Amino acid sequence: MRKGIFLKLVAAFIIVILAAAVTFDALLGGAWQASLRTEIERNLIQKTELLAHRVETDRSHSLADIAAQEGQSAGARVTIIDHSGNVLADSEITPGGVENLARHKEFATALAGHTGIEQRRSDTVGVRFLFVAVPISGGAVRMAYPLSDVDAVSQPFRHRLELASGLAFLFALIVAAIAAHWSAGRLNRIVEVAARIAGGDLKARIRETSQDEIGRVASAIDVTARQVEQSFAAVRSSQRQLETLLNSMQDAVVAVGADGLVQWANQPMNRLVPQGTRLNQPVVETIRDPDFLAVVKEAAATREVKTVRATSIVPGRAYDVTAAPLPGSGTVVVLRDLTETERVEKTRRDFIANVSHELRTPLTSIQGYAETLLDSTPDGSGATREFLEIIRKNASRMSRLTEDLLTLARVESGETRFETEAVPPAELLHDAEESFRERARTNNIELQIQESRNGEAPLQNLRSVLADREAIHQVFSNLIDNAMKYGATGGKVILGARALPHAVEFFVRDFGAGIASEHLPRLFERFYRVDKARSRESGGTGLGLAIAKHIMLAHGGTIRAESELAHGSTFLFTLPTA
């Protein structure tokens, strides 16, 4: 790892240094050569102009002598032509064997009256020249300077430049290697600490003091590691607290992953199954109950909390199984042992049923004897008749109480079997209204059936419901009886029904004093009374709404109450459609 970083850094430095050296050599060498050629061109122009002046003024020498003298003096080739381009004199060759030069660019410019400058390889000599031509009367003069001399002068300079570049490259390479080695060491230390942190050593730190980019990266990693360490410590503390809490529970808890494997289980779960919980194994190897497996699968698929009762997890015991989806994926399942609770509840129901059954006969006797004594007691015996009336009244109330207790116990235990059938909602409403019609007339209460409201479908168009006629009639009787007792001040009781998705909702509404909101959640509890004194005076047992609730549960429906003080009360229950 370290060698890889070092070699990459060195390679990067070498590329940068080479690019800098090549750029420096090209720019400096090229600039020096360009400067040298500019100077040669300027000198050559001056010499050519002097040559033109001598040709114009010197009448004592021939053109050939002037060309030879000036060419030797300037170290250049001298050519003189006339206005047609014919060579009149040349410092190096005989004029008769030279072609017409008027087409050459520098001469064409000079013959046009301007100084002509051109660089090219000479066709005659075969060497690259710098040509400068100046116009004269009746023609032009030209000097040709060989650029090979420039190359000869530039070569030593280029050698020295290359040597200097090589020494600079070597020095820069040494510095780059040292810097790369130092940077690679720092980066390697960061990588090692990061690997230790990734391996679980959250106390590892780089402790870099430099404030450059690498130092800031190291400081950021140290800060991140410190925060991760603190977060991990908090998570582990929370995990230990959660494990302690779950292990201290009486309920068994097991976590199942999205792949169906057991991820975690508390101690009660390990004690629940004889073979113990098999972690990281399919949950079916720990619990084979089909209801348990089905609710786990359903909760994972729907991402909703599901509950089921399982009886084959442990022989002879019943469990309430609640499966809830975990964040992300997976399911957590809680198993609550219902065996003892159900046993106690069954004992309580049996006790109530037995006591109520045993009380029926003596209460009937007391009530009968009290009525007999009342019939045989003269009207003048005021105190005696009053006592007998109290005995009869309380015996009658206790008789009704025992009957309601027996009814409630039978409904709760499932002993009472409801024979459900498809019944039109209108028939249930009319049966209830007919039963209480005379009593309502006697008490000056208007009892009516509301056919439809707010554009809803008429009663005749509602779908039939699955119901036991007698049981639903008992529910209506309890609700209408309460409406007449406690809502009589409103003078009216309304019955009705409306369609719901897959159900029909019935209601009984009165217009009495209403019920305070704090009482509504407890109305369907046994013996719960909003006004205890008034309830006893009216002869109620406090069990009517509890019986209605359990009848509705047995039908797969619901029951609830809505009320507002001084605006009456409405009791609503639903029955599934056939």
Q: Please name the residues in contact with 171: beta carbons below 8 A apart, sequence gap of 6 or more.
A: none
Per-residue pLDDT reduced to its tens digit, 73-102 = 888 888 888 888 888 888 877 776 667 878
Both tokens assigned to 505: 């909702």
Residue 353 and residue 119: Cα distance in Å, rounded? Answer: 130
* CATH architecture for segment(s) 341-413: Orthogonal Bundle (1.10)
Q: What is the mean pLDDT of residues 407-428?
A: 84
Q: What is the mean pLDDT of residues 448-473?
A: 85
Position 537 scores a pLDDT of: 55
Q: Which of 60 and 406 is assigned the larger pLDDT?
A: 60
- The 8-class DSSP code of residue 235 comes to H
Per-residue pLDDT reduced to its tens digit, 333-351 = 998 888 887 787 777 777 7
User: How many residues are given for the chain?
Assistant: 578
Q: What is the mean pLDDT of residues 38-64?
A: 84
Residue 569 and residue 107: Cα distance in Å, rounded? Answer: 123
What pTM, to 2 d.p., does this model score? 0.49
Name residue 141's beta-bridge partners: 80, 134
Per-residue pLDDT reduced to its tens digit, 277-319 = 888 888 888 888 889 889 889 998 888 999 998 888 888 888 8
With bands split at pLDDT 50, 70 and 90, how would you rate the model's confidence at 469?
very high
Question: What's phi and psi for 19, nearest 5 deg?
Answer: -65, -40
Q: Please name the residues in contact with 411: beta carbons below 8 A apart, sequence gap of 6 or more.
A: 547, 550, 551, 554
The CATH T-level fold of domain 2-152 is Beta-Lactamase (3.30.450)
Q: Taking the domains of the chain in order of start, what are their residue ranges?
A: 2-152, 250-337, 341-413, 421-576
Query: Percent of the chain having pLDDT more than 90?
Result: 17
Position 455 scores a pLDDT of: 61
**Helix axes of 382-413 and 544-554: crossing angle, nearest 10 degrees:** 20
Q: Which amino acid, 440? A: A
Q: What is the mean pLDDT of residues 325-331?
A: 86
Of 202-211, 217-226, 260-269, give the lowest mean pLDDT range. Answer: 202-211
Q: Which of 52 and 422 is assigned the larger pLDDT?
A: 422
Contact 129, 142 (CB under 8 A): no
What's the maximum distance between 2 C-alpha atoms anywhere in the chain? 190
pLDDT over 90 (residue 402): no
pLDDT over 80 (residue 45): yes
Both tokens assigned to 401: 């109480």
Q: Which of 543 and 4 is assigned the larger pLDDT?
A: 543
| Residue range 250-337, CATH number | 3.30.450.20
Exposure pattern of 477-487 as b/e (b: 16+ CB <10 Å)?
A: ebbbbbbbbbb
**Tokens 């009746």 -> residue:** 138
Question: What's phi and psi for 489, nearest 5 deg?
Answer: -65, -20
**Of 417, 547, 527, residue with least CA distance to 476:** 547
Query: Percent of the chain having pLDDT more than 70?
Result: 87
**Of 29, 73, 31, 21, residue with least CA distance to 51:** 73
With bands split at pLDDT 50, 70 and 90, how would you rate the model's confidence at 429?
very high
Decide whether 250-337 matches 341-413 in CATH topology: no
Residue 48 and residue 52: Cα distance in Å, rounded? Answer: 6
Residue 428 and residue 128: Cα distance in Å, rounded? Answer: 124
Instruction: Provide the mean pLDDT of the chain.
Output: 81
Q: Is 172 helix (H, G, I), strand (E, B) or coil?
A: helix
The CATH T-level fold of domain 421-576 is Heat Shock Protein 90 (3.30.565)
Position 1 scores a pLDDT of: 46
Residue 88 and residue 128: Cα distance in Å, rounded? Answer: 23
pLDDT over 50 (residue 475): yes
Of 146-155, 319-328, 456-465, give the lowest mean pLDDT range. Answer: 146-155
